[in-house]
Amino acid sequence: MQKFPCLDLNISMELKIRPQTVRFYEKKGIQFFRDFSALNKAKNPVNISIPKPGMETSIEITNSTGKKLGFFDLQFKKEQSQLDGIQLLSEVEHENIGELLTLSSLMEFSKNRLNNFKFFSLEETIPFHMRYGFIIDNDDPNYILNALKQITKSDLRNIDELKYRATFFYKKIKEAMRATPENNETLQRGCKVISDYIKFLTRNKLQKQHGIYLENGSDVKFTDYELMVEKGYLNSLLQTHKINYEF
């Protein structure tokens, strides 16, 4: 009897998904993507869609049986050139559903040429969002000082530049200790140091060993500048999920 080699199921499923060119259509001045397929972490196909396009809308991800795996509620503010995230929820863990929802929302942000993408992140989800280039947006000096101080004391190697920046802005913010229009830029630059540190940890799988304690959640933002800086990394993630789109 002739024997045939077995094909791994995950490989078989992956071969069925060829990167689709993500196509968009316009409704009330907003560009929305049409349904497309992608691969989750297990290399299984999922469907990504915007069932009810509008100023307030939601990105949904379902599996091959139609079961909803997660959603991201969004609100477009075209006059302010801004996209607001309302709620992101993944129904399953360890399948990159949150990543796919984030990438899909950034596709909407990019395609509509918006300037700002903002939402509130819980303290436990801030590292997740920093990985994709989001920046902490906080004007509480104590919140910023607490995080900067932890960075200055980090025993992690090869982060001298980050520790220098953390030390510099810790001293600058400590001197002011209040949020004013004059001090706002310094506070925001302190937030950028914290965000860069957490991003470095998450992308290098060092968060568990060297993560810093954040007192609570915070607003986070992603601007058109972050898109320009991070597009290479984001495009590599799209390729991993077999999504044919470029930022």
List the one residue out of 188, 206, 187 whose CA is nearest residue 197: 206
DSSP state of 125: T
pLDDT of residue 4: 43
pLDDT of residue 181: 63
Name the amino acid, one letter, at 27: K
| Cα–Cα distance list, 221 to 85, 126, 134, 196 (Å) | 10, 11, 5, 13
Q: Cβ distance 46 to 63 under 8 Å?
A: yes
Q: Cβ distance 102 to 129 under 8 Å?
A: yes
List per-block mean pLDDT (blocks of 10 residues) for the chain, which spans 247 residues.
Answer: 46 58 95 96 95 97 95 97 96 89 98 98 96 96 96 94 97 79 86 98 94 95 98 97 96
Residues 6+ apart with CB under 8 A from 207: 127, 198, 201
pTM to 2 decimal places: 0.89
Domain ranges across the chain = 1-120, 123-216
Beta-ladder partners of 45: 39
pLDDT of residue 197: 98
Residues 6+ apart with CB under 8 A from 21: 244, 245
DSSP codes, 226-244: HHHHHHHHHHHHHHHTTEE
Highest CATH level, class, for 1-120: alpha beta
